[in-house]
Structure 1
Amino acid sequence: MLSAQQSQAKRPVSAALAGPYGHPFHPILVTVPIGAWVASLVFDVASLVVHDPGFLTRGSMWLIAVGVLGALAAATVGFLDLFAIPPGTPAMRTALVHMTLNLLVTGAYIGGFFWRRAAGTAGSVGTGTLALSAASLLVLGVSGFLGGKLAYRYGVRVADEATQADGYTRTGTGGERPGRSR
């Protein structure tokens, strides 16, 4: 049986903005900054080993920009998910650390973007900006771990077990699933 607090954390504040019950938009949107920022680090490293690195340095800078825009979109719906978590709970404390780390990482990437822009994109990426990107990804990994804890341990915005059970109910005759033959 779910407590009132658990039930509250599973329901969206606004289904139209944050995603319907059991299918929040935040986990979908976080794939954009994660993918863009990982790819930017790959471009950074590659820029150190190729003959003409300018295209990789420019690509990395723009991947960072795409990641920042994606992070802002993910944060918008993430805030809505945050409002569903009851205050004073371990889930809320975890969510606040998760949010703080994500804001720090996004700020670091914004700073890195302008640093790169000022340095120019003709040569390979500098060691300082490379180190900033690598450190930011490490912090993002910690934040992602906390986001997983929110979903998989605390069940924030995850459908309750009775709803989940629908996915494990066999249909058809003789215990077979439709479309499968013996």
Structure 2
Amino acid sequence: MNLRKILRAAESVKAVDGPAGALAGTVRRVLRDSKLDGLLRGSWLGHPVHPLLVTLPIGAWLSAAAFDAVGRREPARQLVALGLAAVPPTAVAGLADFGELTADQRRVGLLHLAANTAASGLFAGSYVCRRQGHHTAGAVWSTLGLLVLSAGGALGGHLSYAQGAGVHRWEAPTSTDQA
């Protein structure tokens, strides 16, 4: 089975419909009629904010791996910490978008959330190891985190690009759309 088929199969994981629907409903209730909703979902920008925010933890964690590869332990530890600090706002923006997804998109979105939560946990383990002076173990945890993060990123990319989540959300109709 190729990667594209695996990503498409994620759309059919109906076992997550209950939790995904409940989470989407909770998000909609919390953000309903709130200025925070538009801020988190990017109405001021014209497209979702979440894809912009993901660059910080991903970039920090990839850079940490590069520093690990050349034996620079302290910068690697600091970058793992920076990536972890960027997770909460990134996750909150993603959750704000989650409340507006279709059922098929929610399935992929929940799997994306689960993978990225697991990756964040692995990076947290990496940080703890590094703080305790176990730098090699920290680098191993980070490597595992990057592998899981890659799966989460593939799901997020599928959600955005194959399923069109958030695409043209605030775009004003053009004259050709009205014809």
Is TM more than 0.5 here?
yes
Question: Which residue identity lines up with residue 32 of structure 1 in the other structure?
Answer: L
CA contact (8 A) 1:151 1:157 kept: yes
Task: Tell whether 2:41 aligns with 1:18.
Answer: yes
Question: Which residue identity lines up with residue 43 of structure 1 in the other structure?
Answer: F
Please give the alpha-carbon distance, in whole angstroms, between the structure 2 residues aligned to 1:59 and 1:164. 45
Specify every segment of 5 or more residues in structure 2 that has no aligned partner in the other structure, as ranges: 1-30, 175-179
Please give the alpha-carbon distance, in whole angstroms, between the structure 1 residues aligned to 2:147 and 2:172. 33
Task: Report the structure, 1 or 2, having the larger helix content.
Answer: 2
Question: Which residue identity lines up with residue 81 of structure 2 in the other structure?
Answer: A
Which of 1 and 2 has higher RCO (CA within 8 Å, sep 6+)?
A: 1
Report deviation, 1:22: 4.4
TM-score (norm 2): 0.71
Question: Which residue identity lines up with residue 161 of structure 2 in the other structure?
Answer: Y
Please give the alpha-carbon distance, in whole angstroms, between the structure 2 residues aligned to 1:15 and 1:143. 25
Q: Which residue matches 2:155?
A: 146
RMSD: 2.4
CA offsets 1:124-154 (integer angstroms, 9 cap, x no match): x31x222211121111111111101111111
Question: Which residue identity lines up with residue 118 of structure 1 in the other structure?
Answer: Q
Please give the alpha-carbon distance, in whole angstroms, between the structure 2 residues aligned to 1:154 and 1:57. 40
Please give the alpha-carbon distance, in whole angstroms, between the structure 2 residues aligned to 1:165 and 1:31. 30
Q: Percent identity?
A: 32
TM-score (norm 1): 0.70
Q: 130, 138, 148: which one pairs with 1:129? A: 138
Please give the alpha-carbon distance, in whole angstroms, between the structure 2 residues aligned to 1:139 and 1:78. 18
Please give the alpha-carbon distance, in whole angstroms, between the structure 2 residues aligned to 1:147 and 1:165. 27
* Moved beyond 3 Å, runs of 4+: 163-166
CA contact (8 A) 2:123 2:145 kept: yes
Q: Which residue matches 2:15?
A: none
Q: Which residue matches 1:90?
A: 104
> How many residues are matched?
140
Q: Which residue matches 2:118?
A: 104
Q: Which residue matches 1:170?
A: none
